[in-house]
């Protein structure tokens, strides 16, 4: 059985007051939810509704069909790996989901709600967090300011005209995040002065800042040295188990151990979908990976 | 780096003290026609610098927006020649003019919301030229080519605005307030998001902010700043003409901002002062026609030697590293 989601579907009108963003309180949060549902008409969070559903999603760039007819469900709490050669359309698929390049065909449902036509910032507010294959950070701001903004973006009063004070909750949360992605020692450094590896860690921190319901990591270990890699892999492994995660990763040794199901893409299409232990032996996958994709 | 911050504070206060003492140290021509003029044009230049430095937007519409405030004041001023059918007392008129400029800033932001770089330059330039031509051809409100004269400004504590000290200190007060407003705003979430848009608009929306709305809001804030400049410039010139907000006025403000340096709001005032000095004294050395050649040369040399203006040059010569943003310093102080 799949673990109960930590965060409820967006439509749930009974937000649990405690536990927002505090992972340790998961169980007490669920108790509060149950209690409130007993005393009110139940808008039961339908566990059967997948976290993400793609229905024949496609994306064209002019004459190029970068993503074609992609259909799959991702269950709540599932960790999905996406692998495939360069140019397979993995990043483009992320872009259709987060809204940077919305799908030209098909539908995308987040917890049952059609988000295909929503602007990226509204999808972010619906609980999608993502990282980019090449770091897209605010290079003129510091690590802490980057994380602070990512936290603010998920808050209802995101656009304050007041300077954050010493006890500012968002600032405190940004510091916790810096701790979590192991960049607190460089929190005051500007992005354009820190190393590539550190930027990759901030990337993940930015995506986690909103406590997303769906986290999408696009080759988080891209360009990391052998020495920097384990730190990032550990970061992924330490993510809460109930978080729904999609991980694009070229490196099978990172992708397979961190996925419940692996989707293989090639030429914009899904070619194989299977559990990690069967993926490595799949003839199609072997053909792709031995066929000189590296 | 709290130490640098404290040093910056000390310098700011010293400069402010000097500016306050200046009318007693300088001949009146210097107070009014050099310092005062540099301050009021510097405000408009700062609205450009604000957008450029923190948002990465080069807007050539700031002079036009200042002009909207200026024309609002002129059209409705109680002393205007020619006098319109309606007029308002200055205490109501000045806020109205600034509000009009703020609104105009938002409209410009809305029109240009999807454009960047050269396209943004072209759209804002087109708006600037368009408004100036409109003012020139409109007789009913704007009195066409001649513009509107005799805009004397309010009396302050019983002294006329034309009084040198009243003009100078009022302008200094407004400029200082706006300058610190900018320095404050860029430390707020609003200002940090603006810097985020400068660095990476795609990420700004990926973390939940509406980039378009934010751009419009920052253009409105820049309009608010330019509006104050426009009001004060109109009082300084005792009136307004289409020529004073046309393409050359637009270019001049851009030159001031670039000479001073687009990296920090103070650059706008430094650039305005340098420009004013050249404008005033070059004409006495050379004849008027050669002035434009001279200022053009100075502009060229500064841009070639130091693309980030006199401010950048100063930073490099003194080895001052102000690479870190103002916002971080305050965040660090609280850490
Ligand atoms: N914004 C874009 N405009 C045009 N073509 C694009 C764009 N983004 C991706 N593509 C093209 O789509 C194809 C898939 O690219 P991508 O999704 O980045 O693959 P992957 O992430 O699997 O390496 C490539 O041929 C790429 O050139
Ligand atoms: Mg990719």
The domain ranges of chain A are 48-127+212-294, 137-209
Top CATH class, A48-127+212-294: alpha beta
The candidate with the shortest Cα–Cα distance to B246, out of B140, B131, B142, B148, is B131
Is A171's Cβ below 8 Å from some Cβ in B? yes
pLDDT for B286 equals 62
ipTM of the complex: 0.84
pLDDT for A147 equals 96
- In terms of Cβ atoms closer than 10 Å to its own Cβ (0-12, 13-18, 19+), residue B302 is buried
Give residue-wise pLDDT tens across range A187-241. 999 999 999 989 999 999 999 999 999 999 999 988 888 888 888 888 888 888 8
Cβ of A134 closer than 6 Å to ligand 1, yes or no, is no
Measured in Å, residue A134 CA sits from the centre of ligand 2 at: 9
Residue A93 alpha carbon, nearest atom of ligand 1: 17
Check pLDDT > 50 for residue B332: no
Phi–psi pair at A165, nearest 5 degrees: -85, 180
Cβ of A89 closer than 6 Å to ligand 1, yes or no, is yes
pLDDT (tens place) for every residue of chain A, 294 residues total:
444 444 434 444 334 444 333 333 334 444 443 444 444 444 455 667 888 999 999 999 999 999 999 999 999 989 999 998 889 999 999 999 999 999 999 999 998 889 989 999 999 899 999 999 999 999 999 999 999 999 999 888 887 778 887 778 889 999 999 999 989 999 999 999 999 989 999 999 999 999 999 999 999 988 888 888 888 888 888 888 889 999 998 878 788 888 999 999 999 999 988 888 888 888 888 887 766 444
Which ligand does the CA of A85 lie closest to?
A: 1
Cβ of A92 closer than 6 Å to ligand 1, yes or no, is yes
Cβ of A74 closer than 6 Å to ligand 1, yes or no, is no
A224: three-class secondary structure by DSSP? coil
* Domain ranges for chain B: 28-246
Give residue-wise pLDDT tens across range B65-78. 999 999 999 998 88
Region B6-32: mean pLDDT is 88
Give the whole-angstrom CA distance, residue A109 versus residue B330: 42
Is A138's Cβ below 8 Å from some Cβ in B? yes
Which of the residues B331, B334, B335 would you substitute to probe the A interface, choosing the one with the greatest number of A C-beta atoms within 10 Å? B331
Check pLDDT > 80 for residue B334: no
Residue A86 alpha carbon, nearest atom of ligand 1: 23
pLDDT for B325 equals 40
Q: What are the tokens at A234?
A: 């550990």
Cβ of A212 closer than 6 Å to ligand 1, yes or no, is no
pLDDT for B317 equals 80
Q: How confident is the model at residue B144 (pLDDT cuts 50, 70, 90)?
A: confident
Phi–psi pair at A68, nearest 5 degrees: -135, 125
Q: How confident is the model at residue B159 (pLDDT cuts 50, 70, 90)?
A: confident
Element (H, E) at A216: strand A214-218
Asked if A158 lies within 8 A of B209 by C-beta distance, the reply is yes
Q: Is there a contact between A130 and A215 (Cβ–Cβ < 8 Å)?
A: yes
Region B266-284: mean pLDDT is 87
Check pLDDT > 50 for residue B237: yes
Among A124, A140, A175, the residue with its CB nearest the CB of B208 is A124
Give the whole-angstrom CA distance, residue B172 versus residue A229: 56
Residues of B in Cβ contact (< 8 Å) with A161: 185, 188-190
B297 or A108, which is more confident: A108
Q: How many CA atoms lie within 13 A of B43 on its CB side?
A: 33
Residues of A in Cβ contact (< 8 Å) with B192: 141, 145, 148-149
Give the whole-angstrom CA distance, residue A182 versus residue B37: 52
Region B128-154: mean pLDDT is 84
pLDDT for A36 equals 40
Is B319's Cβ below 8 Å from some Cβ in A? no
Name the CA radius of gyration of chain B, rounded.
20
Identify which of A65, A66, A97, A120 to mutate to test ligand 1's pocket (most ligand atoms within 8 A of the CB): A66
The candidate with the shortest Cα–Cα distance to A9, out of A158, A139, A142, A112, is A112
Per the DSSP assignment, residues forming a β-bridge with A177 are none
Per the DSSP assignment, residues forming a β-bridge with A129 are A215
Which ligand does the CA of A86 lie closest to?
A: 1
The candidate with the shortest Cα–Cα distance to A288, out of A250, A247, A248, A261, is A250
Q: Is there a contact between A258 and A79 (Cβ–Cβ < 8 Å)?
A: yes
Q: What is the reported pTM?
A: 0.85
Is A152's Cβ below 8 Å from some Cβ in B? yes
């Amino acid at each position: 059985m799949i673990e109960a989601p930590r965060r409820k579907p967006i439509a749930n009108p009974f937000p649990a007051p405690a536990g927002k963003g505090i992972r340790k309180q998961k169980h007490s949060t669920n108790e509060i939810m149950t209690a409130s549902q007993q005393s009110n008409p139940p808008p039961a969070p339908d566990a059967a509704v997948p976290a993400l559903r793609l229905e024949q999603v496609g994306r064209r760039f002019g004459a190029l069909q970068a993503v074609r007819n992609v259909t799959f469900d991702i269950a709540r709490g599932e960790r999905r790996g996406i692998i495939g050669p360069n140019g397979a359309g993995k990043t483009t698929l992320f872009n259709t989901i987060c809204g940077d390049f919305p799908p030209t065909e098909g539908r995308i449902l987040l917890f049952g709600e059609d988000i295909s036509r929503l602007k990226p910032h509204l999808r972010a507010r619906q609980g999608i967090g993502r990282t980019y294959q090449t770091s897209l950070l605010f290079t003129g701001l510091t690590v802490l300011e980057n994380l602070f903004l990512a936290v603010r973006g998920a808050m209802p009063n995101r656009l304050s005209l007041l300077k954050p004070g010493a006890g500012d909750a968002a600032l405190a949360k940004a510091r916790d995040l810096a701790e979590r992605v192991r960049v607190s020692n460089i929190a005051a450094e500007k992005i354009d002065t820190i190393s590539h590896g550190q930027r990759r860690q901030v990337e993940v921190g930015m995506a986690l800042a909103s406590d997303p319901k769906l986290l999408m990591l696009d080759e988080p270990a891209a360009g990391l040295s052998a020495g920097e890699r384990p730190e990032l892999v550990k970061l992924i492994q330490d993510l809460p188990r109930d978080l729904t995660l999609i991980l694009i990763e070229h490196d099978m040794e990172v992708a397979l151990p961190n996925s419940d199901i692996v989707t293989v893409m090639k030429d914009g299409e899904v070619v194989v979908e299977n559990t990690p232990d069967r993926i490595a032996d799949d003839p199609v996958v072997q053909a792709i990976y031995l066929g000189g994709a590296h | 780096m709290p130490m640098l911050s404290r040093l910056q504070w000390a310098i700011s206060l010293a400069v402010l003290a000097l500016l306050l003492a200046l009318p007693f140290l300088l001949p009146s021509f210097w107070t009014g026609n050099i310092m005062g003029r540099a301050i009021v044009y510097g405000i408009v230049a700062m609205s450009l610098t604000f957008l450029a430095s923190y948002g990465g937007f080069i807007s050539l519409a700031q002079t036009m927006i200042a002009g909207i405030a200026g024309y609002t004041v002129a059209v409705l001023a109680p002393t205007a020649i020619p006098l319109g059918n309606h007029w308002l007392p200055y205490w109501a008129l000045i806020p109205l003019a600034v509000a009009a400029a703020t609104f105009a800033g938002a409209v410009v932001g809305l029109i240009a919301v999807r454009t960047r770089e050269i396209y943004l330059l072209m759209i804002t330039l087109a708006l600037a030229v368009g408004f100036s031509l409109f003012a020139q051809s409109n007789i009913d409100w704007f009195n066409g080519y001649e513009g509107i004269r005799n805009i004397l400004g309010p009396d302050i504590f019983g002294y006329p605005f034309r009084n040198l000290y009243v003009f100078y200190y009022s302008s200094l007060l407004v400029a200082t307030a706006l300058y610190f407003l900018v320095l404050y705003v860029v430390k707020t979430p609003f200002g940090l998001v603006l810097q985020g848009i400068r660095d990476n608009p795609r990420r700004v929306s990926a973390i939940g902010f509406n980039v378009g709305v934010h751009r419009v809001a920052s253009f409105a804030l820049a309009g608010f700043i330019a509006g104050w400049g426009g009001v004060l410039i109109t009082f300084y010139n005792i009136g307004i003409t289409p020529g004073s907000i046309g393409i050359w006025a637009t270019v001049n403000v851009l030159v001031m901002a670039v000479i001073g340096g687009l990296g920090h709001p103070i650059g706008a005032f430094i650039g305005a002062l340098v420009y004013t000095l050249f404008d005033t004294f070059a004409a006495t050395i050379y004849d008027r026609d050669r002035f434009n050649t001279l200022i053009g040369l100075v502009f060229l040399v500064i841009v070639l030697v130091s693309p980030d203006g006199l401010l950048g040059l100063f930073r490099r010569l003194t080895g001052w590293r102000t690479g870190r943003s103002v916002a971080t310093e305050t965040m660090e102080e609280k850490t």
